[in-house]
Amino acid sequence: MFAYIDPTIRARLVEAGKLLRINALGEPLDANAPPAEGQVALNVLGPVPLPIHIGGEPRTFQWHAFVRHTELAEANLMADALRRRGEPQLFSLLSKSMTVNSALVLGDLRAAANPLVRVHSCCLTGDVFGSARCECGPQLELAFKRIEAEGVGAVIYMSGHEGRGIGLWAKAVTYMLQDAGEDTYQANRSLGLPDDSRDFSDAASILLHLRGDQPIRLLSNNPKKHADLRAGGLHHLQAEKHVTGVGAANRRYLSAKRGWGHIIDPSEIDEGTE
């Protein structure tokens, strides 16, 4: 378990309560015993203070990292093999076996009456490159601003969700199909891929661990996200619209999302919203 990190460091983290294991309901499991066969288990590392600049002075969010036990076990096996082969320089390969999701928490999330939460799917082109082909970057930025303004809330960042779950390479292909006339969902279907293959079950487990099944205002226009989180055990979700970043480069994309079921008014994506 966690073989590629010094076992003595791992033991210190467990003893300090900084390395935990939870089940799908967010409940604690024994961090030193393997989960039961077939049991969904997430390893939790943190919290780690992260000062994040939102407007003026940085606000300190608490970062929690989550990875499925099965993926971590695969990374451990690879680490052992690399160590036996005398190739520790290839330890960078370990990250390819793990999808690490993050929770960035401001304030006392469990004590808050009805905090804002954004469950955000990773988007390299939007979140990092600042692409205006989607509204992902502005949605993430606005989520932090809205949470900062209230003094409490959380951003759950899902790192395995690129391109609604199809990955960055396939996403690049769909962009070229979109430039040839297809919309974002037609492009997925042309490649034989689902409209949306994202799994939000781990996001539900993360929120159950951090807050329990208490009221949450979810910053999302996507009814699938709401339904998936409810199926994961969150029964007190309130939809909070989160339309931002509308422009000429993504108006057709947003219109397709609205046709697929996203709660977006036509007036919110017309030319007057830029």
Q: What is the pLDDT of residue 160?
A: 87
Q: Is 138 exposed, middle or buried (0-12, 13-18, 19+ CB in 10 A)?
A: buried
Q: What is the pLDDT of residue 73?
A: 67
Establish if 175 belongs to a structural domain: no
Q: What is the pLDDT of residue 3?
A: 47
- How many CB atoms sit inside 10 A of residue 108's CB? 11
Q: What is the pLDDT of residue 47?
A: 95
Q: What is the pLDDT of residue 9?
A: 81
Q: What is the pLDDT of residue 257?
A: 94
Establish if 170 belongs to a structural domain: no
Whether the ω angle into residue 47 lies within 30 degrees of 0, i.e. cis, is yes
Are β-strands 153-158 and 101-106 bridged in parallel, bridged antiparallel, or unpaired?
Answer: antiparallel
Q: Please give the Cα distance from 237 to 162 (Å, whole number).
A: 24
| Cβ-Cβ contacts under 8 Å for 60 (sequence gap 6 or more) | 49, 50, 51, 52, 106
Q: What is the pLDDT of residue 97?
A: 58
Establish if 265 belongs to a structural domain: yes
pLDDT, tens digit only, all 274 positions of the chain: 444 566 788 888 999 999 999 999 999 999 988 888 889 999 999 999 999 998 777 899 999 999 988 776 666 666 666 666 666 555 555 556 578 999 999 999 999 999 999 999 999 999 999 999 999 999 999 999 999 999 999 999 999 899 999 999 999 999 999 999 999 999 999 999 999 999 999 999 999 999 999 999 999 999 999 999 999 999 999 999 999 999 999 999 999 999 999 999 999 988 654 4
Establish if 118 belongs to a structural domain: yes
Q: Are 20 and 67 in contact (CB under 8 A)?
A: no
Establish if 15 belongs to a structural domain: no
Establish if 155 belongs to a structural domain: yes
242: CATH: 3.40.50.10990
Establish if 19 belongs to a structural domain: no
Angle of helix 223-231 relative to helix 201-211, nearest 10 degrees, comes to: 60
Range of the structural domain that residue 266 is part of: 46-65+99-161+198-273
* pTM, entire model: 0.89
Q: What is the pLDDT of residue 27?
A: 96
Establish if 77 belongs to a structural domain: no
- The residues annotated with a catalytic role in the active site are 196, 198
Domain total in the chain: 1
